[in-house]
Amino acid sequence: MDFREFIRQRRKEEGMTQQQLALLAGVGLRFVRDVEQGKESLRVDKVNAVLKLFGKKLGPVGLYEEEKAT
């Protein structure tokens, strides 16, 4: 699961609209839409503000993690 899918799935599991997520995270609605649409360049501080709502934060991930799992 990639980042945008994680955010969308968790938001829906919590029964939140994009607007509610934006408000709770202290980011703009446009930012949440950009995240869920897979925009490639995002501000790390804002990403972490959204992830914090789900008990997560950004961190390094190996490039070949998916290959090892299969």
- What residue ranges in the chain does DSSP mark as E strands? none
Residue for token pair 């950009």 = 34
Q: Per-domain residue ranges for the chain?
A: 3-69
Using one digit for the tens of pLDDT, what is the confidence trace for 14-36?
999 999 999 999 999 999 999 99
**CA triplet 28, 31, 33: central angle to 5 degrees?**
115
Which of 45, 24, 47 lies closest to 34 in space, CA to CA?
A: 47
CATH 1.10.260.40 for domain 3-69, yes or no, is: yes
Question: Is the confidence at residue 1, as pLDDT, over 90?
Answer: no
Reported as a single tens digit per residue, the pLDDT across 36-55 is 999 999 999 999 999 999 99
What is the secondary structure of 42-55 as a DSSP string?
--HHHHHHHHHTTT
Residue written as tokens 């969308």? 8
Q: Answer for the pair 44, 35: CB distance below 8 angstroms, yes or no.
A: no
